[in-house]
Homo-oligomer: A and B are copies of this chain.
Amino acid sequence: MRALVYQAPGIKSWDNVPDPALQTDTDAIVRVDATTICGTDLHILKGDVPAVTAGRILGHEAVGTVQSVGGGVKNVRVGDKVLVSCITACGTCRYCRESSFGQCVGGGGWILGHKIDGTQAELVRVPFADTSTYPAPAGVSDEALLMLADILPTGYEVGVLNGKVRPGDVVAIVGAGPIGLSAILGAKLLSPSHVIAIDKADSRLEAAKGFGADIVVNNSREDALAIVRDLTGGLGADVSIEAVGVPATFELATTLIRPGGHVANIGVHGEAVTLHLEDLWIRNVTITMGLVDTYSTPTLLSLMCSGLLDAEKFITHHYTMDQMVRAYDTFGDAPRTGALKVVLTRE
């Protein structure tokens, strides 16, 4: 088959590779009908994720059709159209018992395109298929469904639910890339009084408006703290969500928060940050961080079926899979191309 193979920092290729085969009886082999590229894939290509070694097929998001299953697979059948989640769950370990599938210590967690071969390929082996895939409901397009593989549950769980967004809240979201936009969509489900999107790129802020931001702040030229304080009688935001992953944006998120508020970090960080406990120790602030667990995937799927979650607005570019390298170029140059999510399909 053909697949996107990581070779070394900066080097990838769309290659011929052997087809994957069932390795244990709970595996499924899934034909990939649609896949996409994540910001994390760009991090990997920079060499930031040393666990990814030469020869690894990248990608952790897919919608596909089950081609074969191991003898221990109970609920997934050949021919089923399924969502392949970025999180694989063994279903039996301590963490899976507590719905914390992202922290699975039984061989799952984030492994696709990371510790095992991933979804940017014609076929993918999915371990623990019963607990790591979701049946595609009628009436939802492959493309919309694909947004549930990672980006939507990540924004919703790690941003919105960890941040404990409640009706009437003022929610500040630092970063209006795909993950920040996903946090906006998720936050709007809970009727905040104001969502404030903060970014340095006007094009992203324009997108943020389209996703429901009530106020946008370009913090390359505007003072986000002053704007948030003005809106909140000097107190600060009820919730701030970090959706970038660098020290400056984390620090900003902790500055914007009111006493008693929640800072939810979604960003993937490559270096340590400074936490101003000399100011914050007295302010009853809660800071959360984490990998998505995907416990919310069925909920989000239900909302999508009810028309309450318009996922297709993420998709700015379409390619066929053999245009994979071009799709990477488009996605990797988002400031110029305006790419949010690029979708790659079989044909």
Chain A contacts to B: CB under 8 angstroms: 25-26, 71-72, 74-75, 91-92, 94-100, 102-103, 105-106, 110, 130-131, 162, 166-168, 189-191, 193-194, 214, 235, 245, 250, 259-260, 265, 267-278, 280-291, 293, 295, 298-300, 302-303, 305-306, 308
Contact = CB atoms under 8 A, between A and B. Distances in A.
A299 B268 contact: no
B289 A268 contact: no
B283 A289 contact: yes
A284 B100 CA distance: 9
Given A191-B308, A272-B276, A283-B289, 8 more contacts: A72-B72, A94-B298, A271-B277, A273-B274, A275-B275, A282-B289, A282-B291, A285-B289
Contacts of A276: 272
Given A92-B130, A260-B103, A277 B302 contact: no
A171 to B, nearest CB: 12
A317 B193 CA distance: 29
A288 B286 contact: yes
8 A-B pairs with the lowest CB-CB distances in the bound complex, closest first: A284-B290, A72-B72, A168-B299, A269-B277, A189-B191, A193-B306, A275-B275, A168-B302
Contact of A92 (B75, B100, B245, B295): B75
A211 to B, nearest CB: 15
A76 to B, nearest CB: 10
Contacts of A162: 286
User: Chain copies in the assembly?
Assistant: 4
Contacts of A271: 277-278
Given A272-B276, A287-B286, A168 B97 contact: no
A25 B72 contact: yes
A193 B288 contact: no
A308 B193 contact: yes
Most chain-B Cβ atoms within 10 A of its Cβ — which of A106, A193, A284? A284
Contact of A283 (B106, B131, B250, B290): B290
